[in-house]
Structure 1
């Protein structure tokens, strides 16, 4: 991740926006302190699919022992 001062960002804003849109993350600083991070917008559907894939990798499918028709109570 590249760090740039806000004055540099103001001088070359279109260039930095293009770089962020291409996938680069850019940290903007003011007086040496990080204040803003420029990063590309993620496709929410793709991000959700990636998270589901990560979660399903650790899940067991078909691990329910009781038949669906069995009566049960949460109090038991």
Structure 2
């Protein structure tokens, strides 16, 4: 967690908000004591994390029936037809 005093926060607010957007908490201090915290929105974080995980899997997975053999035709239920 990053700790910043009120004056520094006012001067560089966009930079600190970017850090929060990236998932980091920012503690705001006044006279050396923490008076508030800016924390990332949990709902947005869960969504972003899921999207990043899916993006990381892109191109490395095969979509389809994982139980079906790749080079054989299914005949397991032929006797029931």
Please give the TM-score of this superposition, normalised by the length of structure 1. 0.55
Matching of residue 37 in structure 1 with residue 37 in structure 2:
yes
Distance in 1, matches of 2:21 and 2:40, equals 5
SS in 2 for 1:43: helix
- What residue is the counterpart of 1:19 in the other structure? 19
Q: Offset of 1:2 from its aligned partner?
A: 1.3
Distance in 2, matches of 1:22 and 1:30, equals 24
- What residue is the counterpart of 1:2 in the other structure? 2
Aligned length: 45
Of structures 1 and 2, the larger Rg is shown by 2
Q: Considering only aligned residues, what root-mean-square deviation do their CA atoms show, in Å?
A: 1.5
Unaligned 5+ runs, structure 1: 47-76
Distance in 2, matches of 1:26 and 1:5, equals 10
Q: Offset of 1:36 from its aligned partner?
A: 0.9
Consecutive aligned runs of 4 or more in structure 1 exceeding 2 Å deviation: none
Please give the TM-score of this superposition, normalised by the length of structure 2. 0.52
